[in-house]
Amino acid sequence: MAYDRYVAICNPLLYTVTMSPRVCSLLTFGSYVVGFAGAMAHAGSMLRLTFCDSNIIDHYLCEVLPLLQLSCTSTHVNKLVFSAVVGAVITISSIGILISYALILSNILHIPSAHGRSKAFSTCGSHIVAVALFFGSGAFTYLTTSFPGAKDQGKFASVFYTNVVPMLNPLIYSLRNKDVKLALGKTLNRVLF
């Protein structure tokens, strides 16, 4: 999405050539390959573990870290794999998004008209909000698991990024539409006043 926004704002005349169906297919295929490889790394490292006592995961989802807590063997290798996979995915995607938006911001600052700058910021705003919600709640989930008393907050955050964020995406992206904004305003006025 960040690359799409970069092309749409920085090279709008070449958009249809740059974002061809082949490029879109390759980007989609690449994201599936990375997701599958990460899942296989986690599943493969889980095969070496043994589970003795309880089989009840103290979490809403079958996440990797709560599952590791059930193991009665050493999970050191699994935690290293988890850190490497999550670290690589977050680092690479964050760097790609940051570079894309740095180039977009540089390009926007060179737009002479205020209307043009506003339109460009509007184009990027919804994606930035969606990414911030997803990465923020995901980071909160995985970075706070080592703190005492953070288990319940991690549960809430995992539900937030797996259910609430995807439900908010259509609303976030449709608020760019003036008709949707107007209808939402009328509905809120009717409900609140």
Q: What is the pLDDT of residues 24-53, one digit of tens each?
A: 999 999 999 999 999 999 899 999 888 887
* Tokens found for residue 70: 């059930």
- Most confident listed range (1-5, 28-32, 79-83, 172-176): 28-32
Mean pLDDT calculated for residue range 143-161: 69
Residue 176 belongs to domain spanning: 2-192
Confidence band, pLDDT 50/70/90 cuts, at residue 138? confident
State pLDDT tens for residues 60-97: 777 788 888 888 888 889 888 888 888 888 889 889 88
Q: Is the pLDDT of residue 181 over 80?
A: no
Whether 146 has a pLDDT exceeding 70, the answer reads no
Can you give the pLDDT at residue 144? 64
Whether residue 135 contacts residue 90, with contact meaning beta carbons closer than 8 Å, is answered with yes
What pLDDT band is residue 150 in, cutting at 50, 70 and 90?
A: low
DSSP collapsed to 3 states, the chain: CHHHHHHHHHCHHHHHHHCCHHHHHHHHHHHHHHHHHHHHHHHHHHCCCCECCCCCCCCCCCCHHHHHCCECCCCHHHHHHHHHHHHHHHHHHHHHHHHHHHHHHHHHHCCCCHHHHHHHHHHHHHHHHHHHHHHHHHHHHHHCCCCCCCHHHHHHHHHHHHHHHHHHHHHHHHCCCHHHHHHHHHHHHHHHC
Count of domains for the chain:
1
What pLDDT is recorded for position 163?
Answer: 85
pLDDT of residue 170: 81
- In total, the chain counts a number of residues equal to 193
Q: How far is CA 46 from the centre of its chain?
A: 24
Rounded CA-CA distance 60/57 in Å is 8
For 93-104, what is the mean pLDDT?
89
Query: pTM (2 decimals)?
Result: 0.74
Please tell me the predicted confidence (pLDDT) of residue 148.
Answer: 58
Radius of gyration from C-alpha coordinates of the chain? 21
The predicted structure's pLDDT at residue 37: 94
